[in-house]
Amino acid sequence: MQAAAGGIFPSALTFDTMVRDYLNNLSPKKREKALLSQYMYDNVMAVLHDPNCTSIGTAQFRFWAKKMFSLTSFGEETVIVHDGKPVAVKEQIYEVLTHCHAQASHGGRDKTSAQVRRYYSWIPKEIIARYVRDCPFCQNRRTSNSSNTRMSSSQAFFK
């Protein structure tokens, strides 16, 4: 799914800014774990592979990793799951959202997040909401819809 080029989805650059803004608005404690970077993902994976290990991250990190996540195998590949769904790493989220927002035919936040949740976990609803809000196609449609509404109510008036 090659998105942004035609301007019907937020660009990767817009999305980066969006994510940074989202993270900056969180408390430092939440910020740390709101999204899983590839680096953290690998560490969680290592902890789950070797639950008795004491050399990866802090004790608190290992506790959190074991509490929140588990491992599942899809054929050859082992992935981290949360709530029964594979965990998306931070670097993957843009692509996932663009794909799911397209599958939802530019549906709103709820439609798009339902679509996202069919495949992945660990993508905050707030990020999905921001993505949908900043989608140029949806913004256009919202603008033209509101002028259509105005038109039809004035037509109704003259009936």
- Residue 90 CB, shortest distance to Zn ion, in Å, is 21
Token pair listed for 31: 């910020």
Nearer to Zn ion, 98 or 121 (CB): 98
- Residue 113 CB, shortest distance to Zn ion, in Å, is 13
137 binds Zn ion (CB under 5 A): yes
Whether the Cβ atoms of residue 32 and residue 47 lie closer than 8 Å to each other: no
Nearer to Zn ion, 42 or 95 (CB): 95
Among 106, 111, 117, 133, which residue sits at the site for Zn ion (rule: CB under 5 A)? 106
Residue 87 DSSP symbol: B
- Residue 41 CB, shortest distance to Zn ion, in Å, is 28
89 binds Zn ion (CB under 5 A): no
138 binds Zn ion (CB under 5 A): yes
Describe the strand order of the beta sheet including 70-74 as a list of residue ranges: 70-74, 77-82, 85-86
100 binds Zn ion (CB under 5 A): no
18 binds Zn ion (CB under 5 A): no
Q: What is the 3-state secondary structure (H, E, C) of 114-142?
A: HHHHHHCECCCHHHHHHHHHCCHHHHHHH
The separation between the first and the last C-alpha atoms of the chain, rounded to the nearest angstrom, is 46
**Residue nearest to Zn ion according to CB distances in the complex:** 135
Nearer to Zn ion, 89 or 135 (CB): 135
Q: Return the percent helix, strand and coil in the chain, to nearest 5.
A: 65, 10, 25
Q: For binding to Zn ion (CB under 5 A), which residues are involved?
A: 106, 135, 137-138
